[in-house]
Amino acid sequence: MMADEAGGGDVRTVLASTFGYQSFRPHQGEIIESVLSGQDVFALMPTGGGKSLCYQLPALLLDGVTIVVSPLIALMKDQVDALRQLGVPATYINSTVDAQEISVRQRLVADGGIKLLYVAPERLMLPGFLRWLASIRVALFAIDEAHCISEWGHDFRPEYRELRRLRELFPAVPMAAFTATATARVQTDITRELALRDSARFRGSFNRPNLFYDVRAKRNAFDDILKYLHAHPGASGIIYCGSRKETERLAADLNTAGISALPYHAGLPEQQRHGNQEAFSRDRVRVIVATIAFGMGIDKPDVRFVIHYDLPRTLENYYQESGRAGRDGDPSDCILYYSGADAMRLRYFAGEKATQEEQRIALGQAQQMIDWAESTVCRRKRLLAYFDEPFEGQDEPCCDICASSTGEQEDVTVAAQKLLSCVIRTRERFGVTHVVAVLRGSREKKVLAFGHDRLSTHGIGSGQPKEFWLDLAKHLIGMGALRQDQERFNTLSVTDAGRRVLLEGERVMMPVKQRETASQVAMVAAYPDLFERLRALRRRLADERNVAPFIIFYDAVLREMCTRLPTRVVELTAIPGVGESRAEGYGQLFLDEIARYRSETGATPSETISEPLVKRRKRPNDSVSETVRLFNEGNTPEEIAGLRGFVARTIYDHLAEAIQSGEISNIDRLVSPERQAIITDAMKQVGEALLTPVRDYLGDGYSYEELRVVRAKLRTSPPGERGSDN
């Protein structure tokens, strides 16, 4: 059945009844319309964007079988399992299926009993298999992970090159190519190699708003990972390591620490690799520690974190690997541990390439990855820029850079002059670590050996922590005041811009950072205990059916059940992602569990739809803490401003933040009790969200500084005691 026969109504009916959705995600509707019309399609859609639906739904409306080319056996099985749970006739043929069963499945396809057949490219291009395909009605070739066909792609597979023959062997059969990540060069390669004809082209956004990017210094990384895992007890995720040895060691250490984890790398026996991957997919183990051998085709949607213990080789690799987090759209963390040694190792591997041209390309890719890790600007913005996509920002912090910035700019000109002077005094022959050691007055062996303990800059930066100087050095590199020579072991030299700072006093402003910016993502259900009961039921049903739990229902569906507390199957089907087949198959079991919970607890449905809550810890930063210390020593805000070289407004902002966080409890030194009472009453009358209406209400006798301090104190009070928020 082609598009004109199927009609938009049938498409919408199948979308709702089979897949459980009332509307399409961006581009899905247009892609499906193009496929149904018989047009070739190229679709670039991010992980989690719903590209599978773009060929699965049309397959149910087209006359014949849709052949889905997929690179990994695990991906085939998961997708076929999920389709069967929806009542869709689908199967796969690969090396795990014996010859007799292959004959049975081919007969089913030939008789019209199968709508989607998944095969690997190696199987598809066998002469005997191609002859069999020519004897049946093929409606569509859907090429998944199409970037594998390009040698410029991040996961090139030579066997994908053979797919170019499909066009000459099946000239009348339309083709649809799908990928989650591809540069402009790779996109062109895909179109050329598959010989797509006047294809409809679709490009989704590379932006994954639910992912939080966090780069951390690689110091005590294992302890930091443990801390993160203990803070997220229900979360499962992937930890990528650069070597097989590191993979096995880290998995063993996690188990010793009480975290269930399994290793995965190409050196393990195939049966063990498959078993470990399946244990992770089915929630029998919480963490998979893997090399890059683990990844493409992993269909688990509820991966809450992806941690890189070592630096990926390219930014495209990082985008693809980190993108395995949060495929269900819920908030997830992408954490990368980084050190200078990682950068040197990456450059070394690039230099080992066989030809000078390969070395040049690899070094360029490595530098892009290093620059991203060392960036002092929004990581999402830089990552999207790699794919030529602009980013205008978002309401919530999207990375550690955004989360750590208070929005306040600090004048660090004097500190910058000290650092630049130290670079010159050490004759521009050393890297950041050594220069910072000299600044902070270190007497380590290398400092003494070069006589740098006798320099005038030795110890002039001892009043600031090491992290401050490292951040400042990165900032000066980023603004072009310092140059880092990659060819000379990252030695620093002062540029013309840096000399203007040093000799002419050109100002240097740097964003003030929070002391700690650990991203803490929590998914909150209306009734958390019911949510766990539904998860347990889901796990039992999944084990009985020998499928992964997410194939039964996503976490988001269970959370919606906890909010709506449905009592009838028709109410269950109204939840996005349920669909008629799932509701009829085991919906009553979930309704029964919800009914028991309501009877036991008296729970009632919530009027609001449950939403993911992203909780991020925010503490006063080091600059605020210094202001608090001086305030506690008896200094006035104006005196502190003079001591620190700030304007008074900045000091009052520091004090307001400290008051609201509880570090300062008594504000009588800042505002008299009588004036506090008057200001508080005014805020109750006109609200405290905006200060200008409060000042207008009170008149010119009150300053914004006083209002800011009283509002901070008021916000530590119970909600009922605050002003209205108009």
CATH number of the CATH domain containing 706: 1.10.10
Count of residues in the chain = 726
Residues 172 and 56 in one domain: yes
Closest among 157, 349, 137, 136 to 242, alpha carbons compared: 349
CB 551 within 8 A of CB 278: no
Residues 370 and 288 in one domain: yes
Q: Which two tokens stand for residue 313?
A: 């080789």
Integer Rg of the chain from CA: 30
Closest among 165, 193, 162 to 177, alpha carbons compared: 193
Other Cβ atoms within 10 Å of 573 Cβ, number: 19
Q: Is residue 479 part of a domain?
A: yes
Q: Is residue 514 part of a domain?
A: no
Residues 421 and 544 in one domain: no
Q: What pLDDT, on the 0 to 100 scale, is given for residue 514?
A: 52
CB 35 within 8 A of CB 174: yes
Dihedral of alpha carbons 215, 148, 146, 63, sign = negative
Of the three residues 456, 483, 507, the one that is the final residue of a domain is: 507
Residues 582 and 679 in one domain: no
Residues whose CB falls within 8 Å of the CB of residue 655, separated by 6 or more in sequence, listed in order: 627, 628, 631, 637, 664, 670, 709, 712
Angle at alpha carbon of residue 437, lines to 436 and 439, rounded to 5°:
60
Q: What pLDDT, on the 0 to 100 scale, is given for residue 369?
A: 92
CB 241 within 8 A of CB 250: yes
φ, ψ at 46 (rounded to 5°): -65, 160
Q: Is residue 107 part of a domain?
A: yes
Q: Rounded distance, CA 543 to CA 540, Å?
A: 5
Strands 482-485 and 491-494: antiparallel
**Tell me, what CATH number does 433's domain have?**
1.10.10.10
Residues 149 and 33 in one domain: yes
φ, ψ at 351 (rounded to 5°): -70, -15
CB 475 within 8 A of CB 510: yes
| 8-state DSSP, 399 | B
Q: What pLDDT, on the 0 to 100 scale, is given for residue 9?
A: 46
Helix pair angle (704-714, 691-698), 10° resolution: 120
Sheet of 236-240: strands edge to edge? 211-217, 332-338, 303-308, 236-240, 287-290, 261-264
Other Cβ atoms within 10 Å of 609 Cβ, number: 10
Q: What is the pLDDT of residues 194-251, one digit of tens each?
A: 889 888 988 888 888 899 999 998 888 999 999 999 888 878 999 999 899 999 999 9
- Total tally of structural domains belonging to the chain: 5
Q: Rounded distance, CA 41 to CA 34, Å?
A: 7
Give the bridge partners for 399, in sequence order: 213
Residues 313 and 418 in one domain: no
Residues 142 and 42 in one domain: yes
Q: Which residues of the chain have pLDDT under 50?
A: 1-9, 515-520, 607-620, 719-726
Residues 448 and 381 in one domain: no
Residues whose CB falls within 8 Å of the CB of residue 516, separated by 6 or more in sequence, listed in order: 617, 619
Q: Is residue 653 part of a domain?
A: yes
Q: Is residue 513 part of a domain?
A: no
Residues 539 and 490 in one domain: no
Of the three residues 580, 613, 646, the one that is the final residue of a domain is: 613
Residues 97 and 167 in one domain: yes
Q: Is residue 515 part of a domain?
A: no
Q: What is the pLDDT of residues 468-522, one digit of tens each?
A: 898 899 889 878 899 887 667 778 999 999 999 999 989 998 877 654 444 445 5
Residues 53 and 116 in one domain: yes
Nearest-10 Cα torsion for 446, 448, 451, 453:
110
Region at 517 (left for phi over 0; alpha for psi -120 to 50; beta for the rest): alpha
Closest among 536, 186, 189 to 387, alpha carbons compared: 186
Q: Is residue 517 part of a domain?
A: no
SS3 content of the chain, % helix, strand, coil (to 5): 50, 15, 35
Residues 294 and 398 in one domain: yes
Q: Return the residue matching tokens 């690969």.
A: 94
**Tell me, what CATH number does 538's domain have?**
1.10.150.80
What DSSP line would sit under 336-390, residue for residue? EEE-HHHHHHHHHHHHTSSSHHHHHHHHHHHHHHHHHHT-SS-HHHHHHHHTT--
What DSSP line would sit under 101-157, residue for residue? HHHHHHHHHHTT--SEEEE-HHHHTSHHHHHHHHTS-EEEEEETTGGGG-TTSTT--
Boundaries of domain holding 242: 211-404
Q: Is residue 516 part of a domain?
A: no
**Tell me, what CATH number does 293's domain have?**
3.40.50.300
